[in-house]
Structure 1
Amino acid sequence: MRTMTTLEQLSKSVRHLAETVAHSFESMSLVDLNYKPAPNSWSMLQCLEHLNRYSRYYNPALANAIAQHTGEQAHLGSISYSWLGKKSVEMVRPQNTKKHKTVKHMNPNNSQLNRATVGEFLQHQQELLQLIYDARKVDLNKKAVPVEFFKLLKLRIGEALEFVVLHQERHVQQALRVKQQLAQQAAA
């Protein structure tokens, strides 16, 4: 896929995620936002907190990678994927229904969360939109973004951006399913 098309699609996805979260969760009660369908499943806020934890790492890592490579020749061809990038993107793709265990410090289970979690998620989306915009000036195939759980491994800037957005789509969909389960329980 051409770089600009990919970045435009990622921007569109991030704007859609922000609108979905604002529309779906901002007006809900704190009790409902913390509803868990089962003891070991996540609430809507826990899904968003999981994404916030990833954004706290990946937004600055992406900003650093983009800043380091701004001014170099921007690559306007296709984004190419490393084996790690392909595996990472496929693992978090929303269509992949296989459950994956998250690393302990990224697991929000048993966290005490409030409305600030939604606001933080929306703030991260604004930061991510700016990062995607800034990424137009760099070679997205530069291996420059350390993987959160093993920093010796690096993702390419383009594949890291795609990983972050797809990961967010996956867990926002999960939060929406929890909301639907809450509605079904209330209707029963």
Structure 2
Amino acid sequence: MTTLEQLQQTAGKLYQIVNTEFASLDLSLLNFKPAPDSWSILECLEHLNRYSRYYNPALAKAIAANSDGNDMQSITYSWLGKKSLDMVRPQNTKKHKTVKHMNPNNSTLDRKTIQEFLQHQTELINLLGSAKSANLNKKAVPVEFFKLLKMRIGEALEFVVLHQERHLQQALRVKQQVAQQAAA
């Protein structure tokens, strides 16, 4: 299985997690915060939505501009790509500050946040499919918070999926805390 196929499979699983674990929850549970400075389930999803609003169109543009049939399916990593991926890997338990405009803390959110996430996820799954004809090693995706830096298409796709995986694990932990509080 290629890296793109693995990413596409993971993105599909993340779609299912949101659909099965969160979509049917009561709005008060979706907005429950374990602590004032931590995020609710919806805040985790809104954070990902904010990234998707930027990265999905940036990836679509990069893939379209670099899909000449001369595909490069294996991903090689730049120092920026390695650093970015290491930072968002779900196994990396170190907390990182997010840039202010990507921080959804204390936002007023509702079910539209879930619908938007699912819509973005469908777009991402399609982008991963269309990336099969792209040169994944082309530096073509500007980094959101510092657009002068560019990530390779493959790195950026992997970054988006790992970042989602990290924050959906966080949202699942919040759901677990909600259940523990309800049981207490």
TM over 0.5: yes
**Matched AA of 1:81:** Y
Instruction: Provide the rounded CA distance (Å) in 1 between the counterparts of 2:68 and 2:75.
Output: 18
How far did residue 72 of structure 1 move? 5.0
Deviation of 1:110 after TM superposition, in Å, equals 1.3
Deviation readout 1:52-97 (Å, 9 max, x if unpaired)? 0000000000000001111151113x21000000000010000000
Q: Secondary structure at the match of 2:150?
A: strand
| Uncovered stretches (5+) of structure 1, i.e. residues with no partner | none
From 121, 127, 151, the counterpart of 1:155? 151
Question: What is aligned with 1:175?
Answer: 171
> What does 1:64-79 correspond to in 2, within 5 Å?
64-71=61-68, 73-76=70-73, 78-79=74-75
TM-score when normalising by structure 1: 0.96
Percent of residue pairs identical: 72
Match of 1:116? 112
**Pairwise CA RMSD of aligned residues?**
0.8
**1:104 pairs with 2:111:** no
Number of residues paired by the alignment? 184
Residue type of the partner of 2:16? Answer: E
Structure 1 Cα separation of the partners of residues 44 and 142 of structure 2 = 23
For structure 2, the residue ranges without an aligned partner over 5 or more in a row are: none
- 2:160 aligned to which of 157, 164, 168: 164
- 2:46 is aligned with 1:49: yes
For 1:74 and 1:15, the matched residues in 2 are separated by 23
Structure 2 counterpart of 1:178, one-letter code:
V
CA distance in structure 1 between the aligned counterparts of 2:69 and 2:122, rounded to whole angstroms: 25
* Equivalent-residue separation in structure 1 for 2:68 and 2:149 (angstroms): 24
The match for 1:128 is: 124
Is 1:146 the counterpart of 2:106 in the alignment?
A: no
Aligned residue number for residue 15 of structure 1: 12
TM-score, normalising length: structure 2: 0.98
SS in 2 for 1:146: strand
Q: Which amino acid aligns with 1:117?
A: T
Shift of residue 126 of structure 1?
0.4
